[in-house]
Amino acid sequence: MALAVLVSIPIGQVPPLAPLLSPFQGFWQNAYSEDELAVDQWELSGLTEPVEVIYDEHLIPHLFASNEEDLYMVQGFVTAKHRLWQMEFQTMAAAGRLSEVVGIQALEFDRMQRRKGLTFGAEAGLTYIQEEDPETFALLVAFSDGVNHYISSLSDARLPLEYKLLGYRPEAWSPYKTVLLLKYMADMLVGDKDLEFTNLRQIIGADWMERLFPDFPFENDPVIEASQKWQFKPLPVSKPENIIYPDSALLVDPIPAPEPGVGSNNWAVSGKKTRSGYPILANDPHLSLNMPSLWYAMQLSTPKYSVKGATLPGALGVISGFNESIAWGVTNATRDLRDWYAITFKDKRRDAYLYDGDWLHSHQRVEEIKIKSESSFFDTVIYTHHGPVVYDDHFRSNGQKVNFALKWTAHEGSNEQRAFLDLNRGKDHDDFIAALEYYTAPAQNFVFASTSGDIAMKVQGKFPLRWEGQGKYLMDGSNSAFDWQGSIPSEHNPATLNPVRGFVSSANQHSVDSAYPYYVFDPSFEHYRNRRLNKRLSEMRRISIEDMKALQFDNFHLHAAEAVPVLLQLLLAEPLSFTTAEEELIKELQKWDFYTSPRQQEPPLFAEWWSNLEELLWGRWKEEGKPILYPNNYQTTLLLKEEPDSEIFDDPRTPKRETGSYWVQKSFKAMAKEIQKQRETRTLTWAAYKQTSIRHLVPNFHAFGYFDIHTGGGRGILNATSERHGASWRMVVELGEEIEAFGIYPGGQSGNPGSKFYGNFLQKWAEGSYVSFNLLQQENADQALLIENFKPATE
C-alpha cells in the first residue's frame, strides 16, 4: 500500500507519478487533439441565449452570440478550453506568484514583481472600473464566469499538461486577473534606463551624454509625419532652476528592460496608393517568442458587429484586428513612463520621509509570497506618494543604504479593457478616437483604417507632463520640483488623419519631431525599421495585399547597409596585413546586398563584427555591479563615420591614442577568428548563426518549444525575428466592400503540447506565409472543423 501512496503524492518537486503516467488521467490523455474530443453541446448557467461556436480548419473559433454578455462569457469558456494554463500562469507571473507553482527559484522574480507595484496597480484598476464603468465590469464578470464554468467542468484527464507536470490545479478566474493581465502588458513593454543613465553620466560627464544620447537623431523619421502642424495650445511646464540631481554610483541590478532592437511595425496605406483603391492596414507586434503563443485568434460576432483578430488569452475582445467597418493595430510607443526617486527616510523605521522640508508618512504593504514545499516569504514594501520603494537595503541594493521609489503610470487606475471593447464595436474614425480616450498604458501607436477610406495614427497613453530632461536620471524624491506636473491632455497626444503622403506608419521610433511642444524622451527609440518602412511605403504604388505581406517579411538590414561601408573604410584606412581568409571575408562583405535571408552567409560576419566592436568601444565603461548602457547603433555608426578620431574612442588607461579605426581593425580580427572557427564545423548560414527559438513559458519544458527555426530577419529589420524575439502576430487587412484579411502567428491555437494544433502555424510563419482571416458568416459553416452549441442551463 505504501507504493500506492508513494506514486499518488508529489515528492519534493517531482509530481505524483501515477496521476502523471496513468493512461486515463495522466499525460497520455493530452495526446488527443481538440477535434478528437469535440463536445457538441454545453449548458452554461447565466447564459441568456444560445451561442454557436464554429471552428475553422485551424481551430480558430467564430462565436455567434445574441448579446455581449453571452459573447464574453463564451469567449472566457472557449479561451480557457484552449489556453487555461497559459492564461493563469501569465497572471501568476504578473502577480509575483510563480514561487507557488515552481518553487523557490522564482522568489527573486516574484519579489521584483511585487515591489514594482503591479498588483497594487491592478487593484487600483479594478476599483476604477467598478466605480466608473459598471457596464464593462459586468462584461468582465461574464468573461470570468465563462472561464470558471470551464474550470468546474474540467476532468482530471482534460487538465492541461503543465498542471499535471507541475502538480497543481487551476484556481478560479476573476475580473481582477483580467485587469492584472492588461497591466502585465505595461510591464512587458515599458523600460527605463534612469539608473544606467545616472551611472554613465558620472563616468563620461553631462556633455558627452548629450552628444551620445540626443533627444532626436540626425535623421529623425517620426511616427507622426514631420510636416504636421500642432493646432493646440500646449499646457505650460515650468522647469525648476538650480536643481541638483542625486549623484552617487548606483550599484543596483535594474529591472530587466525590453530588449533593444525589437518592437513592432504597423502601417496603413490609403486607397490612392493601392491597386484596389481600398485602404490596407498591416500590423506585426514583436514580442518574446514563447509557447503557448501569446495570441489566440478569434472571431466574435453579435447582431451588431463581427470582429476578428488576435486576442490576448485572459482579456476580453480582440486586441489587434478588424470588424466590418474598421481595422486597427498596435505598436509600442516606446515612451519612458517610469521615473525613479531617491527617498530620504527619517529613521530606520521608514514610516516618514522627507519632502519639501516636512516629514510625510509612508505606508507599508506586506507581501506574502507562498513557496511550493516551503514556508511563505514575507516582504515589506514601503509606499511613498511617488510609488513603491523597489530598491532598499533588503532588495538588490548590494549593501548600499539606498531607497529608490518608482513612479509609473501603470500604478494608476485605468480602463484599457474598455478601450479595446470600444475598438471592437467601432464604425469610424470618431469611434476610434473616442475608444482611445480610455487607454492609459502601455503607451501604443494605434494605427487605423476604415472602409470609408480613412487612415489614421494616434500615439496614445497617459504621458506625464515633464520639463526638458526630466525623468532621464534618478531624481530627488524630497524635492517637489522633481514631481511630475500633471499629464499631457489626450487631445494633445500626437495624431494624424489622412496625411498627404498617403500612408501612416510606426515602428517604435520617435513619436514626433522637435516641433512638438512637449518634452518627449526615451532611450530605446528605433532608428532603422522606421526609415526602411517609410522609404518603401513612399516608393510603392498600386500596392496589393501581397506587397504588404512581403513588406512585413522584408529582410533588408539598413543598419548593416549604413555601417558596413563605414567599417570597411576605417578597416582599410590604415595599413594592416590580412591573411587570405580575412581578405575573403572582406570580399564577402563588399559583395553583400544587405539582405538577411536564412541561407545567406554574410549576415553573421556583420553581426559578429558589430558586437565585438561595440564591446571594445563602450565595454570599458563597465564596472563590477554598476549598470550602464551603450549608445545605440545609430549614434555609434554616425560617430564612427563623422568623427573617427574623436577623443571618446581613446582609452585613457593606455599610453597610445586609440581611434575608431583602431577598434574597427581589432574587432575585425576578432570576428575573422571566430567566424573561421565556426565555419570549420558547419555551414554558417544566418539561420544557423542566429538560432531563432520559441521556448515554452517554463524553460525546463524544452521539448515543448521549437529550436533552430529556419527564418531570416533580425534586430532593426522589418522582419524583426532575432534569437528569441520577433513578430508574435502578423496581420494584413484590405478594407473593401468585402473585407479581405490574412494573419499568422508563431505557434497554434491549442495550448496543449500534444495537440496537432499546438505548433501548426509555425512553418507558415517562418516562411512568411499566412492563413485567411476573412470574416465568417454563421450560415457558411460547411467547411467547419467542428461546431459547439452553448445553451442556457435548465435548472
Catalog residues that contact another protein under the rule CB under 8 A.
Answer: 1, 3-4, 7-8, 17-19, 21-33, 36, 156-157, 165, 700-704, 753-756
Q: Which three cell numbers stand for residue 744?
A: 499568422
Q: Shortest Cβ distance from residue 704 to another protein (Å)?
A: 6
The span from the CA of 264 to the CA of 222, in Å, is 14
Nearer to another protein, 18 or 572 (CB): 18
Q: Shortest Cβ distance from residue 760 to another protein (Å)?
A: 12
Nearer to another protein, 156 or 253 (CB): 156
Nearer to another protein, 117 or 167 (CB): 167
Nearest to residue 444, comparing CAs of 499, 489, 407, 494?
494
Nearer to another protein, 19 or 644 (CB): 19
The span from the CA of 76 to the CA of 296, in Å, is 12
Nearest to residue 610, comparing CAs of 718, 532, 715, 724?
715
Q: Shortest Cβ distance from residue 166 to another protein (Å)?
A: 12
Residue keyed to cell 554598476: 626
Nearer to another protein, 1 or 366 (CB): 1
Nearer to another protein, 465 or 697 (CB): 697
The span from the CA of 368 to the CA of 96, in Å, is 10
Q: Shortest Cβ distance from residue 19 to another protein (Å)?
A: 6
Alpha carbon separation from 110 to 94, 95, 176 (Å, rounded): 8, 8, 18
Q: Shortest Cβ distance from residue 9 to another protein (Å)?
A: 10
Q: Shortest Cβ distance from residue 16 to another protein (Å)?
A: 9
The span from the CA of 199 to the CA of 592, in Å, is 39
Residue keyed to cell 573617427: 644
Q: Is 488 strand, coil or helix?
A: coil
Q: Shortest Cβ distance from residue 699 to another protein (Å)?
A: 12
Nearer to another protein, 11 or 31 (CB): 31
Is there a contact between 323 and 733 (Cβ–Cβ < 8 Å)? Answer: no
- The DSSP letter of residue 750 is -
CA angle, 85 then 86 then 90, to 5°? 120
Strands 725-727 and 280-288: antiparallel
The span from the CA of 106 to the CA of 233, in Å, is 49
Number of helical (H) and strand (E) elements in the chain, helices listed first: 21, 29
The span from the CA of 178 to the CA of 76, in Å, is 11
* 313 C-beta neighbours (distance < 10 Å), count: 25
Q: Is 651 strand, coil or helix?
A: coil
* 577 C-beta neighbours (distance < 10 Å), count: 5
Q: Shortest Cβ distance from residue 27 to another protein (Å)?
A: 5
Q: Shortest Cβ distance from residue 711 to another protein (Å)?
A: 21
Nearer to another protein, 3 or 366 (CB): 3
Nearer to another protein, 167 or 285 (CB): 167
Nearer to another protein, 376 or 700 (CB): 700
Q: Shortest Cβ distance from residue 793 to another protein (Å)?
A: 23
Q: Shortest Cβ distance from residue 614 to another protein (Å)?
A: 36
Nearer to another protein, 528 or 757 (CB): 757
The span from the CA of 189 to the CA of 194, in Å, is 16
Alpha carbon 577 to its chain's center: 46
Q: Which three cell numbers stand for residue 347?
A: 529613521
